Amino acid sequence: MNDRPVAFVTGASRGIGKACSVYLARAGFDVAVSARTVQEGEQREHSSTVKSSDTSPLPGSLSSTAALVAEAGAEAMVVAADLLDDASLGAAAATVLERWGRVDVLVNNGRYIGPGHMDRLLDTPIELLDRHLRANCLAPLVLTKAFLPQMIERGSGTIVNITSASGYADPTSAAGDGGWGMGYGISKGAFHRVAGFLAVEHGDHGIRAFNVQPGYISTERIAQDMARFGFEDNGEPPEVIGAVVAWLATDSEAATLSGTNIEAQFFCHERGLLPGWEGPKPNTHAISYDLSGAILADKEAQLLAQSAGE
């Protein structure tokens, strides 16, 4: 059993998930870190297109993130799981609850990595669209259902869903030319609806739920994989999202935002959550709304949608 608050973070081997884990550790949480890559140098498919294969190792691992959590003064638990394997998710959740007795904050950050992400519809087998939906929307629900009962019993809990502007905005270019595949967009669109439902169904039980839209963030995978699809490694640091998630998990004001979408870069900048960071780059956030709420976006705005949870 654990007397300290506990966070569970998916996609924690690198990128946004690693940053969230470290910032939650600094905020006083012990952290269960989950992803597929346990040790540095592991190989698995991470090509974004059906047209080629890429199993070269990506930087980052759960072991490395766990070491950073420990350096921040918190305890880390490594619980490897695959978003496409419900049994592994259930086992990871059960392990944390058995050993630590609680999860106070769930960060659903991990997403599907693999072919179909940067393919056009006619090139994408239906089974790859299914993988996107299962990993990006249904897997977070598996974990949410695993942790909600003990949150409700305790009368408090926070669920943070790392979403994407692709869930509510269309690309201005097709996949391969600077846009993204339909599987990513439709799965993030479905996922974007979850936080609002949780706030309505369980707000009276002390549950807070948030969408966090990262915008364009530079991660290890962006640097290694995405230039050939038209995405330069010129985004903002993952620490921006880590700082926002830690604030949502700890600040009493966050309760007033439950069920809403947080545009993380602007939120972080406006509240000064990351000292020394100058804020979103000019002309990278040109999303506006007409009176009917329709989204109007230019090319640079669409780049915000390529969030990089891993």
DSSP notation for 31-86: EEEE-S--STT------SSTT----PPPS--HHHHHHHHHHTT--EEE----TT-H
What does the pLDDT look like over 190-243, one tens digit per residue?
Answer: 999 999 999 999 999 999 999 999 998 988 777 786 777 777 777 899 999 999
**What is the DSSP code (8-state) at residue 254?**
G
Higher per-residue pLDDT: 190 or 301: 190
The Cα 201–Cα 43 span in angstroms is: 41
What does the pLDDT look like over 141-188, one tens digit per residue?
Answer: 999 999 999 999 999 999 999 999 999 999 989 998 889 999 999 999
pLDDT (average), residues 94-106: 98
The Cα 165–Cα 239 span in angstroms is: 19
pLDDT (average), residues 296-306: 39
To the nearest 5 percent, what fractions of the chain are helix, strand and coil? 45, 15, 45
Is 90 exceeded by the pLDDT of residue 281?
A: no
Is 50 exceeded by the pLDDT of residue 16?
A: yes
6-303: what CATH class?
alpha beta
Is 60 exceeded by the pLDDT of residue 294?
A: no
Domain boundaries, the chain: 6-303
Q: What is the mean pLDDT of the chain?
A: 90
Neighbours of 96 (CB within 10 A): 23
